[in-house]
Amino acid sequence: MAKKDDSLNAFMDVSKDEAEVDASKKVRVGIIGCGWIAETHLSSYLRQPDVEIVAGCDLIPGKAEAFFKDRGIEGVKTDYADHKAMLADKSLKLDCVSVCTYNRTHAICAIDSLNAGVNVLLEKPMCVTTEEAVEIMRAEKKSGKVLSIGFQPRFDANMQMIKKIVQSGELGKIYYVQTGGGRRRGIPFPYGTTFIEDKTAGLGALGDIGCYSLDCVLNALGYPKPLTVSGYKSDFFGKDPNYSGYVKKGHPEYAEKFSVDDFAAAFIRLEGGIILDFRIAWAMNLDTSGDSIIMGTKGSLRIPSTECWNGSFDKPLKIYHEVAGEQVCTEIPLIGNKACMPSLFDQKIRTFLDASKNGGAAPVPSSEILYNQAILDGIAKSAALGKEVEITIPKI
């Protein structure tokens, strides 16, 4: 199995626990797109007692076949030119698919799968544009199938604590939120250029890690509707052939191919009079672009600066508030012993399977991530226009 870049894979720790699962009927799973993240989906599925991986496909001829063969997995059908061909093979009797393609084909793969009557776990970001997200949700509604979006940090107990604190009312009325994060040098190109070319990725740092930091705070707030956005994006590092990552890996020509954002920032107005101040970087000359903060009339929460995408903090949350008329700071200790818990990825896969088997609600619903997507798209559109834009979302 190919060795992954550890700095990009902190969330993929192997599960130690096995939850009780009814394995009497196998869930028939197909994988669409057999690239980098598909490996993590596959590993998590293989740890579930009730899953049979029946098919996989990729646009690159031979890639799906090699994907399973290299991992010693036999009996998986892979002779498909694309996802449409796989979905058309009714002999597979697919229950579920993981859509692990690059961002630009998320929408078509999710829509076609839902139209084929299959439950869908769709990798993040949901897609590239708001219009695509709306089309995906229309297909979801029509199909009645489960669609869950691949935000594994949602399953981190510390992330969940942020939501509990906000929803408890401990902070009072929330009026200002700051979120974001990033890496000093971390433009991803693990197996080529699909992350950094517009024709495949559509969004850069924004879609790759920005969607996580937005989810961290918007989920806590109950996903208020975004109203307007004034966005900025840049590509100073990605377009530089002397960028250290390219030089180290011997690929200065990637600078020519780089056609997405490596930094983005925005000022967003949310329903309920809340301001969201956001920034995200794949590369910057700074250790961190700042902690996330949620400011309220009774207290404010500081979420320690983190790479934000892997759903983990290395320092406690802090609440700044008044107790008996005194200004104090309360630390919320870090929760959980990660070594003893199923990995976030296993939880993402397990909750999707459970919802698909039982016809339950999607663990990470599209109705929430639609607003995340509208912000990403709003930032891209505002940056292109050089002015604030209103966010309008068509009826689903």
Ligand X SMILES: NC(=O)c1ccc[n+]([C@@H]2O[C@H](COP(=O)([O-])OP(=O)(O)OC[C@H]3O[C@@H](n4cnc5c(N)ncnc54)[C@H](O)[C@@H]3O)[C@@H](O)[C@H]2O)c1
Judged by the rule CB under 6 A, the positions of this chain that interact with ligand X are: 32-38, 57-60, 63, 82-83, 100-103, 105, 109, 123-124, 150, 152, 191, 194, 208
Q: In angstroms, what is the minimal distance from the CB of 331 to ligand X?
A: 29
Q: In angstroms, what is the minimal distance from the CB of 154 to ligand X?
A: 11
SS (H, E, C) 208-230: HHHHHHHHHHHHHHCCCCEEEEE
Q: What residues pair up with 29 in beta bridges, in sequence order?
A: 53, 96
Q: In angstroms, what is the minimal distance from the CB of 385 to ligand X?
A: 25
Q: In angstroms, what is the minimal distance from the CB of 249 to ligand X?
A: 15
> Closest CB to ligand X among 57 and 217?
57
Length of the chain measured in residues? 396
> Closest CB to ligand X among 102 and 313?
102
> Closest CB to ligand X among 108 and 174?
108
Q: In angstroms, what is the minimal distance from the CB of 376 to ligand X?
A: 12
> Closest CB to ligand X among 160 and 330?
160
Side chain identity at residue 140, one-letter code? E
> Closest CB to ligand X among 83 and 338?
83
Using alpha carbons only, give the angle 203, 207, 212 rounded to the nearest 5 degrees. Answer: 170
> Closest CB to ligand X among 85 and 385?
85
Q: In angstroms, what is the minimal distance from the CB of 66 to ligand X?
A: 11
Q: In angstroms, what is the minimal distance from the CB of 92 to ligand X?
A: 15
Nearest-CB residue to ligand X? 35
> Closest CB to ligand X among 27 and 205?
205
